[in-house]
Amino acid sequence: MYLLGHVALGYFAAKTISRITHENFSIPLIWLASLLPDVDLLIPGLQHRGPTHSIIIALLLFTPILIILKRGLAYLAALATHTAIGDYFTTYGCQLFWPINPAWMKAPIPLLLLGINEIYLELTLFGLMIVIMLISRKAASKTTP
């Protein structure tokens, strides 16, 4: 999955979690969290979709934040969608449970083939995210004096 898809899925996950937890979130920070696993692209010698894409590492990093701040589930959800949805369902897969299990895992039937169809899907998801953001903002402005 590419940048637009990760950002859109992260936003949808955060929006869903925030409705349950009534937790406000920062859209730029949600976008950052949804792209954070791709930090491996900036680290020489680290394989893409390797340890930085591990759900175990995400939980280890976020547990202190969740305990200390007693919030942050929306950000964890945005981060988790990157791996659990965005990269697990590609033909390449990722190291989902590193370091407990360093094996590369992928969905039995990859849904994202990293081709033109995925680009259309990501553009659609991103467009839908923008529409939802605009509608949410408009609804919020009507409720405030």
Domain ranges of the chain: 3-143
Residue-level pLDDT at 109: 79
pLDDT at 141 over 70: no
CA distance 79 to 55: 9
Residue-level pLDDT at 108: 86
The model's pTM is: 0.88
Query: How buried is 95 (Cβ within 10 angstroms: 0-12 exposed, 13-18 middle, 19+ buried)?
Result: buried
pLDDT at 145 over 60: no
DSSP 105: B
In 33-115, where do the E strands start and end? none
Round the average pLDDT of the chain to a whole number and report it: 90
Q: Which residues pair with 105 in a beta bridge?
A: 94
137 pLDDT band (50/70/90 cuts)?
confident
